[in-house]
């Protein structure tokens, strides 16, 4: 009877589970023009390159800052290096390190969706060659080696171009070993809408933008008190007053989203 019950629960766990694998966001308090943002491309560290977590790095332009665009991501030798931690590099997409990945490669070689790269807004592989780089030897960036750029940048070929609509600029994608918890540090520069002379736009900088790539963790701390059957991302468990009791004993290489599968008579 118990085996039959667990078989039924395992069948419905994927339907009724809810997302409970939060991603810790960078602080916005110390920046004048933008707020850094992280998005997980994988799913609770799974459904990507085994043993790795993929993060998308972006910034949100703050309101009332008169920002026109971002045209450079850079590092310099004045205490403002650009730091990239060791990261996964796709062998298929080798040599393509700015502007994202061409959708053709992703459809043909799905692992390229988790490649690591830098960009300014674009994610489609920069098929129109709007971006370039200088002073960054991407050959030295892989799963074993980090990079600290003290005289280099990626930049828009036309620094006055508004390359994307809206106020969110994607700056990169980084795939790192799960639970290694490294950091990325970037400096960005752009133009404002303020004209200081005949057709001369002022520039702005945001320095030492820090993205801590903390692998999301399944949170089981908020099991509802009226939940009687809980899915923890791998196994189905009986619950007594919010406390885990007996569970199935499956081995899972990928964790799914946890959630309550069944509530008591007074629940929902």
Give 55-71 pLDDT, tens digit per residue.
999 999 999 999 999 99
Identify whether the C-beta of residue 115 lies closer than 8 Å to the C-beta of residue 88.
yes
Residue 156: its pLDDT value, please?
98
Lowest mean pLDDT among 148-162, 197-211, 250-264: 250-264
Higher pLDDT pick, 137 / 18: 137
DSSP β-bridge partners for residue 45? none
Q: Is the pLDDT of residue 4 over 50?
A: no
Higher pLDDT pick, 245 / 83: 83
Higher pLDDT pick, 224 / 159: 159
Give the closest residue to 61 by CA, choosing from 82, 31, 100, 38.
31
Tokens of 231: 């899915």
Mean pLDDT across the chain, nearest whole number?
88
Q: Is the pLDDT of residue 3 over 90?
A: no
What is this structure's pTM?
0.78
Give the closest residue to 131 by CA, choosing from 94, 173, 100, 175.
100
Domain ranges of the chain: 2-19+220-263, 34-212
* Model pLDDT for residues 107-117, shown as the tens digit of each residue: 999 999 999 99
Higher pLDDT pick, 36 / 248: 36
Tokens of 66: 């008169």
Three-state secondary structure along the chain?
A: CHHHHHHHHHHHHHHHCCCCCCCCCCCCCCCCCEEEEEEECCECCECCCCCEEEEEEEEEECCCCCECCCCEEEEECCCECEEECCCCCCCCCCCCCECECCHHHHHHCHHHHHCCEECCCCCECCCCCCEEEECCCHHHCCCCCCEEECCEEEEECCCCCCCCCCCEEEEEEEEEECCCCCEEEEEEEEEEEEEEECCEEEEEEEEEEEEECCCCCCCCCCCCCCEEEEECCCCEEEEECCEEEEECCCCCCCCCCCEEEEECCCCC
Identify whether the C-beta of residue 58 lies closer than 8 Å to the C-beta of residue 35.
no
Three-state secondary structure along 126-187?
A: CCCCCEEEECCCHHHCCCCCCEEECCEEEEECCCCCCCCCCCEEEEEEEEEECCCCCEEEEE
What's the average model confidence in pLDDT over 127-145? 95
Residue with tokens 């002379």: 197
Q: Is the pLDDT of residue 16 over 80?
A: no
Q: Is the pLDDT of residue 8 over 80?
A: no
Give the closest residue to 71 by CA, choosing from 191, 210, 201.
191
- At 8, phi and psi to the nearest 5? -65, -40
Residue 55: its pLDDT value, please?
98
Residue 234: its pLDDT value, please?
84
Residue 266: its pLDDT value, please?
62
Q: Is the pLDDT of residue 9 over 70?
A: no
Residue 173: its pLDDT value, please?
98
Q: Is the pLDDT of residue 85 over 80?
A: yes
* Model pLDDT for residues 193-235, shown as the tens digit of each residue: 998 887 778 999 999 999 999 999 876 666 888 899 988 888 8
Higher pLDDT pick, 65 / 3: 65
**Other CB atoms closer than 10 Å to residue 198's CB: what's the count?**
5
Q: Is the pLDDT of residue 254 over 70?
A: no
Residue 110: its pLDDT value, please?
93
């Amino acid at each position: 009877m118990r085996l039959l019950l667990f078989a039924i629960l395992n069948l419905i766990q994927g339907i009724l589970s809810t997302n409970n694998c939060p991603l810790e966001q960078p602080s916005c308090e110390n920046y004048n023009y933008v707020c850094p943002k992280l998005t997980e491309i994988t799913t609770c560290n799974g459904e990507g390159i085994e043993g790795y977590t993929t993060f998308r790095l972006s910034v949100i332009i703050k309101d009332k800052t008169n920002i026109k665009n971002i045209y450079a991501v850079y590092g310099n030798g004045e205490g403002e290096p650009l730091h990239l931690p060791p990261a996964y590099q796709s062998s298929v997409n080798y040599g393509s390190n700015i502007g994202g990945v061409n959708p053709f490669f992703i459809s043909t070689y799905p692992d390229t969706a988790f490649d690591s790269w830098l960009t300014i807004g674009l994610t489609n592989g920069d098929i129109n060659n709007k971006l370039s780089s200088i002073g960054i030897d991407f050959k030295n960036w892989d799963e074993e080696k980090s990079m600290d750029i003290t005289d280099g940048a990626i930049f828009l070929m036309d620094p006055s171009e508004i390359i994307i609509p809206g106020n969110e600029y994607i700056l990169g994608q980084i795939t790192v070993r799960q639970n290694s918890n490294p950091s990325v540090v970037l400096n960005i520069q752009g133009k404002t809408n303020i004209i200081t002379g005949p057709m001369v736009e002022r520039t702005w900088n945001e320095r030492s933008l820090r993205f801590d790539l903390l692998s999301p963790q399944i949170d089981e701390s908020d099991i509802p008190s009226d939940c009687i059957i809980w899915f923890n991302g791998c196994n189905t468990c009986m619950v007594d007053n919010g406390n885990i009791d007996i569970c199935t004993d499956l081995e899972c290489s990928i964790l799914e989203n946890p959630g309550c599968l069944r509530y008591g008579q007074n629940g929902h």
